A and B are shown apart, each in its own frame.
Chain A
Amino acid sequence: MPVTPVTVRVSLGWNKNRMQVRISPWSAHITKPGQGIIWRPTASIQEIKISKNKPSDRWPFNPAPPNKAYKGNKARPPKGRNLKPGTKGKRFPYKITLRFSDPKGKLRRAMIDPDMVVEV
């Protein structure tokens, strides 16, 4: 039976000139063997991309980014699957890149750096 993936909700909202980004949870904990992660953006995010901070960084899933599995939107959320062995107890910082429109319709980009922790 497949293990339910950890959901990371990614939202972006505006109040005049104030932009709010929420990554929940900021630290995604993988607590079951074989568990993956699914990043669910709100509709205000036109594109979401998950990547390593540096190309040489370790990654807990197979495949690792860059890969089409890590790029998407609300309708097609990115996913990390196939937890690699030897990742237990390790923390994996990563980068989320968002493309979105500001209140005036101008296309903008934001990058933010949460992390994942493999506990099993």
Chain B
Amino acid sequence: MRVLVLAASLSGLGALLATHNAPPSRQTRPVLINVTCAGPDVVNILINPWSRDLNEGDVVELSLNANANTEQLTLEPKDPNDWLFDDPFPYAVSKATPKQLTQLKGTVQKGHAYGYTLTATCKAGDGPAKKIVIDPDMVVH
């Protein structure tokens, strides 16, 4: 009887420890991008969110909106030596092919904003191609 009680206690303790030591749940965090030429002189850029908050172990999914006036975006770190993913860059994102960044480095600095550049060329109808480069970021908490 004592053996059974001890075994049950150890089992409960093990489950408790397992709960406390469990890594945070791995989630896919989206970054939705849209680039549209709203007129002959105008470019609209939507990045949702501009500053992507992450937890350790998260995956980032970069996607391009279906109505964008561009077929492909290119993203790369502002500073290659100050980047939070081991996934080789630059990252190409098209309407049909979102890009997942899965290899978060173990050495990331919490609270640090990791800047990246997003380059897109917006073209609608016969209008001129408009290239734009902007700099959103990602932060691990």
A-side residues, CB < 8 A to B, are: 17-27, 102, 104, 106, 108-115
Contacts and interface: CB of A to CB of B under 8 A. Distances in A.
B54 interface: no
Nearest to A26: B41
Interface in B82-141: 113, 128, 130-137
Determine chain B's interface SS by DSSP, over half rule: strand
A19 B41 contact: no
Interface of B: 38, 40-51, 113, 128, 130-137
B134 A110 contact: yes
A18 B130 contact: no
Contacts of B47: 17, 19
A115 to B, nearest CB: 8
A59 to B, nearest CB: 19
A115 B38 CA distance: 18
Contacts of B48: 17
A112 B130 contact: yes
A102 B49 CA distance: 12
A112 B131 contact: yes
A18 B32 CA distance: 11
A109 B134 contact: yes
A23 to B, nearest CB: 6
A108 B134 contact: yes
Given A102-B50, A106-B51, A111 B44 contact: no
A51 to B, nearest CB: 13
Given A102-B50, A104-B51, A19 B130 contact: no
Contacts of B44: 18-21
B46 to A, nearest CB: 5
A110 B38 contact: no
Nearest to A8: B41
A22 B41 contact: yes
A16 to B, nearest CB: 8
Contacts of B134: 19, 108-111
